[in-house]
Structure 1
Amino acid sequence: MTSIIYSAYNAAPIGLTEDTAAEDLWYKALRAEERIDGLELPLLQGGLHPQGLDRLGVLLDPDWSNTISAMPLTLISAISDPHYGLASADHAGRQRALEDVASAREETRRLQEQLGPLSVRAFALQSAPRAERSSPEAFTDSLQQIAGWDWGNIELLVEHSDALIPGQAPQKGYLALNDEMAAVQSAVDLKARRIRHLLNWGRSAIEGRSSTTPGAHIDTLGPALGAFTFSGAAPTATSRSTAWEDVHLSLATDDPASLLTADALRAVVAKVPDGLSFLGIKVGAPASSRGVDRLQLGLSMLAAVTDVIGSTRA
């Protein structure tokens, strides 16, 4: 069965890493969920965990094979540095992003030394900043440099967000999927290292303003797709989002305005190519929820995804 990666940090309460008892309970609940094969670990300005790798290693299940995403650091850095990113047309802004990825690679390898080589399976990169401050050539050069570093058994993934569309207010507004594909292909040709792509259902739907865009993106990538994450999106305002806001809604059964229905979920599982590194679950939480109850919507989607996998690929 395809491995399931859970992005629990998207639902985490504010200040979780500062409350040892609450954090212990949070990870205890995650470790008790047998359908989780690993977590998506967020790269932040303080690294993979504010209290260091010793603390993170205690929290993680030793049998998990986790992934790491540079998206949180990219978003935080962009607040004060709009030219920050691996695709930046500004040399200094791109260099700052490259240095952060290099530092994260070292920390990632230390985590593997602590928990074992299978504890990290993939590292996700993004084509930030906004497309009007980016260039495909700059992203190509960044990927070529990164692909030349020693990543061991860790697979590199380029995570697609909503591209910048003329006349449409973006959430991320990064490079177009075709530009990301070209950059990946150039890096692969030069460095002979496999780099694949990561799609997110909600972000693709936000880009195309349609529930059909995720499927179209899957078709465009074909065998170059390396992983797929389920996250909902809504064309109208909800209790925790404006229209087309990237807040990681759940399935329509739990978030009624979400376009991610059970049928849409089944269609994706049937369409994605064999050999994916993982399927992901990325769901936020209502502001009124507390503690481990904030995992409820995500675990509901987890159950739906694993049920579909079991029935579709039995």
Structure 2
Amino acid sequence: MMKYTVGAYAASPNQSHWEPALETAFYAALKTLPNLKGLEHPFLGRLHPHDDNWFLANIDPQWDYVFTCIPGIMTALSQNEQFGLAALDESGRQVALAFMQQACAAIGKLNAYLGRKAVSAIQIQTAPARHNAASSAAALKTSLQTMLQWDWQGARILIEHCDAYVPGHAPSKGFLALSDELEVLTELNRQLPAQQPLGMVINWGRSVFETRHVDGALEHIQQAKAAGLLAGLMFSGVSDRDSEFGAWRDSHQPPQQSALMPLGEPGSWLTEQAMHACLAASDAASLAVLGAKIGIRPASAGIDQRLATISQTLAMLDRFFTPS
């Protein structure tokens, strides 16, 4: 059975507040998913955004983890537009490196608690937003050279491509172009041991947001694969249609509603056909990171609906690997 990484934090009932009992019930429900490999875990400066001890007490000891830094990066950018590993502003770059050191320490804390190297990868993003602050591939390379000197305890450093700044439409993230990111990764990998290369994760929704067409993610997968750098694929939806998720927003829409995805979003561009095309193009079974990150609306939705939406999304992936 294929198992998948799930960005369950996007589907949590605790989006605007923190109720430990509610989150405990949500995690208990997640543990019932047979095809859940583990969590894409949000990093905001400490192991858990609210309570490290709660997190350690409620995770499944068998889960594996992929840290994602985007929640912490976006929080930091709201306070300092110069923040980022690719920043030309040296103070902004150093603050971002300090944030990454905190991530490295959090990975160590989780691994120590579980008694194993449970974190397989950390996804970094190439802030700052180019429409607000200057950034460059050279600054990113310098930051990564520093990070590669730290002990990541087996976690691979992967760039998750977010929407690059494109003149003509408002960005969500507006970070470096995919070509710049791939160039830096290629240069650094020449100097690294073959068993722990840097790599690229494509997020379906963010690539489609950038390109404004449904095959945008497929094109980015092909570019990363051609460079020998494709290491992950995460599915989140996006749409040009206004809804509770918003038009052209990085709000992690579920896949498009269908007979097999009754809890889907009618306007979502993420169809099962699009997902399967990307899986076929990416040699999906060999990827280090594969899964989905799905938001839930309305905000008042119960845990049963949240779990069912995740389960239906993962079933779409399963149908690629085990077609009827």
Cα shift readout 1:135-162 (whole Å, capped 9, x = no counterpart):
1111111111112211122111100011
In 2, the alpha carbon distance for the partners of 1:21 and 1:240 equals 26
Aligned to 1:282: 293
Is residue 91 of structure 1 aligned with residue 90 of structure 2?
yes
Aligned to 2:142: 141
Aligned to 1:270: 280
Give how far 1:16 is off: 8.1
In 1, the alpha carbon distance for the partners of 2:307 and 2:92 equals 36
Q: Equivalences for 1:54-69 in 2 at 5 Å?
A: 54-69=53-68
SS at match of 1:203: helix
Question: What letter is aligned with 1:36?
Answer: L
Aligned to 2:242: 237
In 2, the alpha carbon distance for the partners of 1:271 and 1:206 equals 20
In 1, the alpha carbon distance for the partners of 2:16 and 2:253 equals 21
Distance 1:169 1:217, change over 3 A: same
Question: What letter is aligned with 2:71?
Answer: P
Q: CA RMSD in A?
A: 1.8
SS at match of 2:323: helix
Question: What letter is aligned with 1:150?
Answer: D
Question: What letter is aligned with 1:168?
Answer: H
SS at match of 1:139: helix
**TM-score computed with the length of structure 1 as normaliser:** 0.93
Range with greater deviation from structure 2 (144-153 or 175-184): 144-153
In 2, the alpha carbon distance for the partners of 1:156 and 1:46 equals 18
Is residue 307 of structure 1 aligned with residue 308 of structure 2?
no
**TM-score computed with the length of structure 2 as normaliser:** 0.90
The answer on whether the counterparts of 2:45 and 2:103 sit within 8 Å (CA) in structure 1 is no
The answer on whether the counterparts of 2:46 and 2:102 sit within 8 Å (CA) in structure 1 is no
Q: Which runs of 5+ in 1 are unaligned?
A: none
In 2, the alpha carbon distance for the partners of 1:205 and 1:19 equals 34
In 2, the alpha carbon distance for the partners of 1:190 and 1:158 equals 17
Is residue 169 of structure 1 aligned with residue 170 of structure 2?
yes
Range with greater deviation from structure 2 (256-265 or 6-15): 6-15
Aligned to 1:258: 268
Is residue 246 of structure 1 aligned with residue 250 of structure 2?
yes
The answer on whether the counterparts of 1:43 and 1:72 sit within 8 Å (CA) in structure 2 is yes
Aligned to 1:122: 121
Give how far 1:278 is off: 2.3
Identity level (%): 31
Is residue 200 of structure 1 aligned with residue 212 of structure 2?
no
Match of 1:219 among 214, 218, 222: 222
Distance 1:288 1:191, change over 3 A: closer
In 2, the alpha carbon distance for the partners of 1:57 and 1:47 equals 9
Give how far 1:288 is off: 4.2
SS at match of 1:268: helix
Aligned to 2:182: 181
Aligned to 2:261: none
The answer on whether the counterparts of 1:143 and 1:183 sit within 8 Å (CA) in structure 2 is no
Give how far 1:17 is off: 7.5
In 1, the alpha carbon distance for the partners of 2:79 and 2:187 equals 31
In 1, the alpha carbon distance for the partners of 2:2 and 2:198 equals 19
SS at match of 1:66: strand
Is residue 297 of structure 1 aligned with residue 306 of structure 2?
no
In 2, the alpha carbon distance for the partners of 1:17 and 1:107 equals 22
The answer on whether the counterparts of 1:160 and 1:177 sit within 8 Å (CA) in structure 2 is yes
Is residue 20 of structure 1 aligned with residue 25 of structure 2?
no
Range with greater deviation from structure 2 (88-97 or 19-28): 19-28
In 2, the alpha carbon distance for the partners of 1:163 and 1:170 equals 7
In 2, the alpha carbon distance for the partners of 1:288 and 1:50 equals 19
Question: What letter is aligned with 1:219?
Answer: Q
In 2, the alpha carbon distance for the partners of 1:90 and 1:102 equals 19
Question: What letter is aligned with 1:241?
Answer: G
Give how far 1:200 is off: 0.6
SS at match of 1:38: strand
Distance 1:170 1:65, change over 3 A: same
Q: Which runs of 5+ in 2 are unaligned?
A: 258-263
Give how far 1:286 is off: 0.5
Aligned to 1:105: 104
Question: What letter is aligned with 1:24?
Answer: T
Is residue 228 of structure 1 aligned with residue 233 of structure 2?
yes
Cα shift readout 1:230-276 (whole Å, capped 9, x = no counterpart):
1111122123212x211111111211111111111111111113521
In 2, the alpha carbon distance for the partners of 1:240 and 1:81 equals 26
Cα shift readout 1:50-92 (whole Å, capped 9, x = no counterpart):
222x321211111111110111000011111111111111100
